[in-house]
Amino acid sequence: MDPNNKVHELIEKRWSPRAFDSREIEREKLWRIFEAARRAPSSFNEQPWRFIVGEKQKGETWNKVFSVLTESNQRWTINASVLGLIVGKSNFTKNDKPNKHKFYDPGQAAAFLTFQATAEDLYVHQMAGFSPEEAVKVFNIPAGYEPVTAFALGYIGKPDILPEDIRKMEEKKLMRKELSEIIFSEWEIPFKF
């Protein structure tokens, strides 16, 4: 493929850092980021996503999200100016039937907010490393809603603020499967670009 044939610069720029700068995020930027999530598509337009958003040193929400993260994620999220949880709604509102896309759709909303954040020169790092059971308790999340992922959001920081083992993880080169391994014209027959 022609080396000048590139993906959008926001996709080139995005990655999941661990070194965050705890500088506060401007309100209008925060609004645009979550407005982007709100505009994501969803099955039957159910919008089965809810976001719990905590700002560092503003109220208790940030501390509560931090408290449900695994210890390994706590080691680097300590400087993130925003910590949050994404929660999925299990059943459709109109008929109370199970929504098979209760996690898929929040994932799309997460992608939308991530790219808006990237456009604002901010970074998102999603985390499966948290306790959904603890999150339900700490935030009194009612039955019918399930925590999907946690996330850190903020300006990027200098890697030297990180403990050495985590800093080394930051330096690892981005690895991805080849297009031929994931894009097919028939099952496992690579699509020809």
Ligand X SMILES: Cc1cc2nc3c(=O)[nH]c(=O)nc-3n(C[C@H](O)[C@H](O)[C@H](O)COP(=O)(O)O)c2cc1C
For residue 159, the SS3 value is helix
CB nearer ligand X, residue 16 or residue 42: 16
User: Coil, strand or helix: which one is 14?
Assistant: coil
Strand partners, 156: 20
Q: Which residue lies nearest ligand X, judged by its C-beta?
A: 129
Closest separation in Å from C-beta 124 to ligand X: 9
Kindly state the smallest distance separating residue 94's Cβ from ligand X, in Å.
28
Nearer to ligand X, 16 or 131 (CB): 16
Nearer to ligand X, 92 or 103 (CB): 103
**In sequence order, what are the residues at sequence separation of 6 or more whose Cβ sits closer than 8 angstroms to the Cβ of residue 98?**
90, 91, 92
Interface positions with ligand X (CB under 6 A): 15-16, 73, 126-129, 149, 174
* 8 Å CB contact between 31 and 122: no
Residues recorded for the chain: 193
State which residue, 172 or 192, has the beta carbon closest to ligand X. Answer: 172
Task: Count CB neighbours of 137 within 10 A.
Answer: 12
CA proximity to 144, closest of 90, 106, 74: 90
Residue 114 Cβ vs ligand X, minimum distance, rounded to whole Å: 9
* Minimum distance from residue 178 beta carbon to ligand X (Å): 16
